[in-house]
Structure 1
Amino acid sequence: MSSFEYNQESDSEDIDRVTLTDEMGRTLDCYVENAMEGNDGTYLLLMPVDIPVVILSWDSEEEDSEDNEEISNAVLLEDQEEIEEVFPDAKAVLAELDLTLKLTAFTLTVTGELPPIEDDGILTLELENDGPSLDSEELQFLKDFYHHEQKYSIYTPLSPLLFLAKYNLLGKVELVSPEDEEMQVILEELLFDDIDE
């Protein structure tokens, strides 16, 4: 079970923050975007303080023998060992953009100023879900790099990455799965309230 600390800033002008810690002991600082009281504790909508990034690996496969065109498929890197293996190369190429890559809990993040968004640098990634349709996410291209002759690309999501957590009656904050039907209702309320403010 992941553990979290709820840090209420002493200065009321500051936004509340929560530090998430994963099973490996890595941390991720998040802003508390919204909070809602429930029967079993307070639900929190969290957004990372730093900029989330993802690494994609590319495999090329020939599709059309007439045109001899190679179609590349992007695969989201989720295996922790593989991420750690390519991390030094990814960090080095992002440093060229004055971005610092960090191995944080639940997602990789960068600090620094992102380059301007360019239309030809936006990738739509199709994500599998439990339903009949595919979810898609738009990503902004940051940098390519190679590791052992394998091509990788680093992107940042254009939509904010949000986490749903619960600050329970025992004073601990735990990550909650938004897939749960009851949590879907709570998440929608948190998102709706956040938009209204």
Structure 2
Amino acid sequence: MSSFQFNQENEPDEVDSVTLTDEDGRTLDCYVENALEAEDGTFLLLMPVDIPIVILVWDDETEEEQEVSDAILLEDKQEIEEIFPDAKAVLAELDLTLMLTAFTLTVKGELPPIEDDGILTLELDTEGESLESEELQFLVSFYHQDQKYSIYTPLAPLLFLAKYNLLGEVELVSPEDERMQPLLEELLFDEMD
């Protein structure tokens, strides 16, 4: 599902890219940040070309001054599709174009400058393990059927681990797989050099 062929002889200024496709047929264009040949294939560290965003749903029972614990990360595909037109409209007011892409929602355009009071630290529960925190930059809030939603973009880059399958197509690989940890660490370490 990609026309990408990794070539180590490429000039450093050239940026390779691939297109990921999800089970619904949506696509996500990604830059290849790093590639690594291993015994069982070529592994890729990918970063979306466009800016990833997340949508938070606020608990409507709370006061106007809301706590982080009152926000829930919106992951339900049907609800995302239902609020998509409203989200697209409010982002358009910031000169950002919202796209329903594979694996994450993205926007095209230039983000507003980061303001300290617009940064939210979201605590993510990782399957019973310790909480992971992620810093998000506030973009805009809106209401849909009396429910408050807020749109944020992660401050840290969103990275995907992928591998070529037997058909030569790029497919995502779970970074949680213990066998992938050494490969992921090597891809990340090489990418920082």
Scaled by the length of structure 2, what TM-score is found? Answer: 0.91
Q: Note if 1:47 corresponds to 2:44.
A: no
What displacement does 1:174 show? 1.4
Determine the C-alpha separation between the residues in 2 that align with 1:179 and 1:144. Answer: 32
Determine the C-alpha separation between the residues in 1 that align with 2:186 and 2:95. Answer: 38
Determine the C-alpha separation between the residues in 2 that align with 1:85 and 1:130. Answer: 28
Give the number of equivalent residue pairs: 188
Q: Which runs of 4+ in 1 moved over 6 A?
A: none
Q: Identity, % of aligned pairs?
A: 75
Determine the C-alpha separation between the residues in 1 that align with 2:92 and 2:111. Answer: 12
Cα pair 1:177 1:183 within 8 Å, conserved: yes
**Aligned partner of residue 5 in structure 1, secondary structure:** coil
Paired position in structure 1 for 2:149: 152
- Greater Cα shift, 126-135 or 11-20: 11-20
Q: Is the strand fraction higher in 1 or 2?
A: 1
Q: 2:107 aligns with which of 105, 110, 113?
A: 110
What displacement does 1:131 show? 4.9
Q: Note if 1:174 corresponds to 2:141.
A: no
What displacement does 1:171 show? 1.5
Determine the C-alpha separation between the residues in 2 that align with 1:181 and 1:8. Answer: 27
Unaligned runs of 5+ in 2: none
Paired position in structure 2 for 1:141: 138
Scaled by the length of structure 1, what TM-score is found? Answer: 0.89
Paired position in structure 2 for 1:89: 86
Unaligned runs of 5+ in 1: 63-67
What displacement does 1:17 show? 0.5
Determine the C-alpha separation between the residues in 1 that align with 2:82 and 2:178. Answer: 37
**Residues 143-184 of structure 1: CA distance to partner in whole angstroms, max 9, x if unpaired?**
000000100000000000000001245412211000011111
**Residues 87-134 of structure 1: CA distance to partner in whole angstroms, max 9, x if unpaired?**
000000000000000000000000000000000000000101135310
AA of the residue aligned to 2:184: L
Q: CA RMSD in A?
A: 2.0
